[in-house]
Amino acid sequence: MAAVSLSQPPGFLKLLSHPLRWQLLKILAHTDLTVQELVQLLDQPQNLVSYHLKLLRKQSILRERRSLADGRMIYYSLDLDQVRVLYAASGEALHPALGPRELGEPVLPRRPVRVLFLCTHNSARSQMAEAILRARSKGQIEVFSAGTEPTRVHPLAMQVMAEMNIEFSHHRSKSLKEYLGQNFEYIITVCDRARESCPAFPGDPVRIHWSFPDPAGVEGSESERLRAFRETAIQLNTRINYLLISIQRNQASNPA
């Protein structure tokens, strides 16, 4: 028999093995939430939930960001790419063939899906999210965006979308009022103010929150401001790739 180098299980697998931490990851893989909301969903003491969140942060797979709407609230979000890296590295520790692989192109939805992105001004985050999802889904998802206090499409959002070769010329800033009463499968808020004032929609859509800072609020040189828009677009693109995979799998498990 070939010699085998024995070792301890990767720390990341130990981290996943705890039932409460697993539930935290499952929830935060879907949407960004505050610790109070996690406590309510899990029906566990706040000090216990906070303790396990701290352990997850030490692995750099959780991010925390103070709400721009209510500064007393902190949103937790899961870095899915970092989870993939650590999970793949754990597999490679068992066998090289189980090591990292590129994230494949997401399979497109089998049935029509309507998605609405919401933020405050509908000038940057929700506009870029709308354009990216439309491009990544090759137009097979009906995607819209709106703002609770719409203004105008930000020029740097236009520039970043042009750099990504994503069609953006017909975008305009739209009011949430244009979409009230319409049916959507997914309502995705990309700013804290919009999430904390989002009205109800018919049909019980899936609600998701992505807690992004507003790149339009970044001060500094033109290059620094442009960098903020590029970083936001990159993060949106990552989340949207995972969203497409999730939509496709939900449809496969719930055929019409």
Active site (annotated) includes residue 216: no
Which of 198, 206, 218, 226 is flagged as catalytic?
Answer: 198
CA distance 9 to 67: 37
Strand partners, 75: 34, 65
Is there a contact between 181 and 216 (Cβ–Cβ < 8 Å)?
Answer: no
CA distance 233 to 166: 11
Active site (annotated) includes residue 63: no
* Coil/strand/helix, residue 16: helix
Sign, Cα dihedral of 175, 177, 178, 179: positive
Is there a contact between 118 and 145 (Cβ–Cβ < 8 Å)?
Answer: yes
CA distance 88 to 101: 8
* Coil/strand/helix, residue 117: strand
CA distance 87 to 15: 11
Active site (annotated) includes residue 191: yes
Which of 38, 56, 119, 176 is flagged as catalytic?
Answer: 119
Is there a contact between 93 and 7 (Cβ–Cβ < 8 Å)?
Answer: yes
* Coil/strand/helix, residue 19: helix
Which of 78, 160, 187, 191 is flagged as catalytic?
Answer: 191
Active site residues: 119, 191, 198
